[in-house]
A and B are shown apart, each in its own frame.
Chain A
Amino acid sequence: MEDFEPKIIAFLCNWCSYAGADLAGVSRFQYPPNVRIIRVPCSGRVNPLFVLKALYEGADGVLVSGCHPGDCHYQSGNYYARRRLEVFKNLLNFLGLNPARFKMAWISASEGAQFAQLVREYVQEVKDAGPNLEFVREKADLVRFLNEAR
Chain B
Amino acid sequence: MRQDDLFLTCQKAFQERGLDLLLGYEKSSSGFLRPAVFTAPESLERISWDPSASLNLATYLPRFKSKKVGILAPGCVSRSIIILINEGQINREQVTIIGVPCRGLIEKRKLGDLEGVRLVEFRDESFVLEKENQRRELNLEDYLSESCLSCAYPAPVIYDYLIQGPSREGSKGFLEKRIKDLTRLSPEERLLYFKREAEKCIRCYACRQACPMCYCESCFVESSEPRWLQAAPEPVDNLIWLLTRVYHLAGRCVQCGSCSRACPEGVDLMSLLAWANQSVFELFQYQPGLKIGEKPALGEYRLEDPDFFWGGGQTEGKKCCS
Contacts and interface: CB of A to CB of B under 8 A. Distances in A.
Interface of A: 48-49, 52-53, 56, 65, 68-70, 76, 79-80, 82-84, 86-99, 103-107, 111, 114, 118, 121, 134-137, 140-141, 144
Contacts of B246: 91
B188 A96 contact: yes
Given A83-B298, A96-B192, A137 B279 contact: no
B220 A49 contact: yes
B114 interface: no
B247 A48 contact: yes
For the residues of B in contact with A, the DSSP-based class is: helix
A140 B228 contact: no
Interface residues of B, number: 54
Contact of B240 (A56, A80, A118): A56
Interface of B: 182-183, 185-194, 220, 226, 228-230, 234-237, 239-240, 243-244, 246-247, 250-251, 272, 275-276, 279-280, 283-284, 297-299, 301-303, 305-313, 320-322
Contacts of A134: 191
Nearest to A85: B309
Contacts of A88: 247
A82 B309 contact: yes
B310 A96 contact: no
Q: At the interface, is chain A mostly helix, strand, loop or mixed?
A: helix
10 contacts: A48-B247, A56-B240, A79-B302, A90-B321, A91-B247, A94-B183, A94-B275, A98-B187, A106-B310, A140-B234
B191 A86 contact: no
A82 B96 CA distance: 38
A24 B32 CA distance: 66
Given A83-B305, A91-B276, A95-B239, 9 more contacts: A56-B236, A69-B303, A83-B298, A87-B279, A93-B187, A95-B190, A97-B187, A118-B311, A140-B234
List the 9 closest A-B pairs by CB distance, nearest first: A96-B191, A96-B190, A105-B310, A79-B301, A93-B321, A96-B187, A90-B279, A106-B311, A90-B321
A114 B250 contact: no
Nearest to B237: A137
Residue among B239, B283, B309 with the most chain A CB within 10 A?
B309
A49 B251 CA distance: 18
Nearest to A107: B311
Contacts of B310: 65, 103-106, 118, 121
A69 B229 contact: no
A1 B247 CA distance: 33
A137 B198 CA distance: 13
A84 B244 contact: no
Contact of B309 (A49, A76, A94, A106): A106
A96 B189 contact: yes
B236 A135 contact: yes
B311 A95 contact: no
A135 to B, nearest CB: 6
Contacts of B228: 49, 52-53
Contacts of A80: 298-299, 301
A53 B226 CA distance: 10
A121 B246 CA distance: 31
Nearest to B306: A86
Given A97-B191, A104-B309, A83 B301 contact: yes
A111 B309 CA distance: 15
Nearest to A66: B309
A26 B295 CA distance: 43
B101 to A, nearest CB: 33
Given A82-B307, A87-B280, A114-B311, A95 B321 contact: no
Given A79-B301, A91-B275, A136-B236, A48 B191 contact: no
A53 to B, nearest CB: 6
B301 A137 contact: no
A121 B274 CA distance: 33
A137 to B, nearest CB: 5
